[in-house]
């Protein structure tokens, strides 16, 4: 039995080594001069209206513009967890981010599903309106990512910004047993597994790379800059890991 299993074990070792080698490669992400559209969806597995919104967001996976001119993010909030189902992707810090938008006047209220596009509430999704923003030159944002670090640079070195980093998971599947979506199988892409923010000044910063214990079919890494006081999005970039 041991001998018969050895070839498969050998294949698994080769696959594992290939994954490690891939993750160790340095990646380079670079925005265009035009401002990237950052789409934030605030969602929950406990919300019966959210799967349709996530399905719409998931479709960007096959859009050639993804990570070039548009970057979708799915923040799962935790305030639904007390209503029958514990969303394993939810974090209270995402609740706080959503509430901050309300406090700064960028959104009218806090609800799910809620879309925020470049820090402004977007209700057009509910009416089936096409998503569009006026073209705006925002400068080039670049990131070099290796196994442990992320080096970020932005061409405007005269101002202080907030640097955001997010690790995204794709191909995630949940079998929901309770709550409004009880009995449903939910599929998720662009899920924010980890997020952090830190100060960014003089046009450059080296940051520790985010990691997660969540096993996804695929991962992506996104960085963006915002105004410290207003939360306004300055520029964003990212790509597949």
Block residue for tokens 């967001």: 57
Query: For the chain, what are the domain ranges?
Result: 22-121+136-240
Cα distance between residue 212 and residue 215, in whole Å: 8
Low-confidence ranges of the chain (pLDDT < 70): 1-24
* The predicted structure's pLDDT at residue 25: 80
* The predicted structure's pLDDT at residue 24: 58
Cα distance between residue 195 and residue 167, in whole Å: 7
The CA angle 127-132-136, to the nearest 5 degrees, is 155
pLDDT one-digit tens code per residue, 94-146: 999 999 999 999 999 999 999 999 999 999 999 988 888 778 999 999 999 99
* The predicted structure's pLDDT at residue 111: 98
The CA angle 223-187-218, to the nearest 5 degrees, is 45
pTM, to two decimals:
0.89
Is 195 within 8 Å of 93 (Cβ atoms)? Answer: yes
Please, which residues have CB within 8 angstroms of residue 65's CB and are 6 or more apart in sequence? Answer: none
Joined together, the tokens standing for residue 196 give 């952090």
* The predicted structure's pLDDT at residue 23: 54
DSSP string covering 45-67: TT-TTHHHHHHHHHGGGG-TTBT
How many Cβ atoms sit within 10 Å of the Cβ of residue 227? 15
Is 61 within 8 Å of 5 (Cβ atoms)? Answer: no
DSSP-derived secondary structure letter, 16: H
Q: What separation in angstroms does the CA of 111 have from each of 48, 153, 176?
A: 12, 34, 21
């Amino acid at each position: 039995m041991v001998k018969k299993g050895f070839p498969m074990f050998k294949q698994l070792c080769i696959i594992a080594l290939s994954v490690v080698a891939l993750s160790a490669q340095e990646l380079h992400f670079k925005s265009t001069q035009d401002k990237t559209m950052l789409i934030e969806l605030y969602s929950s597995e406990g919300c019966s209206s959210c799967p349709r919104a996530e399905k719409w967001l998931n479709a960007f996976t096959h859009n050639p513009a993804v990570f070039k001119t548009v970057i979708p993010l799915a923040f799962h909030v935790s305030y639904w967890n007390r209503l029958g189902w514990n969303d394993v992707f939810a974090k209270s810090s995402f609740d706080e981010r959503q509430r901050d938008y309300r406090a700064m006047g960028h959104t009218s209220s806090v609800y799910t599903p809620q879309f925020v596009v470049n820090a402004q509430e977007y209700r057009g999704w509910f009416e089936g309106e096409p998503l569009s923003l006026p073209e705006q030159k925002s400068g080039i944002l670049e990131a070099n990512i290796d196994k442990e670090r992320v080096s970020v640079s932005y061409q405007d070195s005269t101002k202080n910004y907030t640097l955001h980093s997010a690790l995204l998971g794709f191909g995630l599947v949940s079998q929901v047993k309770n709550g409004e979506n009880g009995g449903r199988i939910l599929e998720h892409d662009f899920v924010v597994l980890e997020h952090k923010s830190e100060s960014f000044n003089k046009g450059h910063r080296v940051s520790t790379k985010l990691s997660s214990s969540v096993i996804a079919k695929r991962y992506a890494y996104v960085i963006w800059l915002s105004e410290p006081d207003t939360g306004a999005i300055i520029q964003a970039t990212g790509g597949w890991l």
